[in-house]
Amino acid sequence: MLRFWPLFFFIIPLVEIYFLVQIGEQIGAWKTVLLVIVTAVIGVSLLRQQGLRVLLKANQAMQAGQMPAQELFDGLILAIVGVLLVTPGFFTDALGFILLIPSIRKVLMRGLLHKFVGSVSFSQSSTQYRSNQYTEKTQQREDIESSDKNRTIDGDFKRED
Q: Is residue 22 part of a domain?
A: yes
Q: Is residue 140 part of a domain?
A: yes
Contacts of 26 (CB under 8 A, 6+ apart): none
Range of the domain at 67: 14-147
Q: What are the tens digits of pLDDT across the range 95-153?
A: 999 998 888 888 888 888 777 776 555 544 444 444 454 555 556 666 666 655 666 66
Burial 141-155 (b: 16+ CB within 10 A, else e): eeeeeeeeeeeeeee
Q: How many domains does the chain have?
A: 1
The whole-number pLDDT of residue 87 equals 86
Q: What span, in angstroms and rounded, lies between the C-alpha atoms of 33 and 124? A: 45
Q: Is residue 84 part of a domain?
A: yes
The whole-number pLDDT of residue 2 equals 67
Q: Is residue 74 part of a domain?
A: yes
Q: Is residue 126 part of a domain?
A: yes
Q: Is residue 133 part of a domain?
A: yes
Q: Is residue 85 part of a domain?
A: yes
For residue 119, the SS3 value is: coil
* 130 strand-pairing partners: 121
Q: Is residue 158 part of a domain?
A: no
Q: What are the tens digits of pLDDT across the range 50-100?
A: 889 998 988 998 898 888 888 888 888 898 888 888 888 899 999 999 998
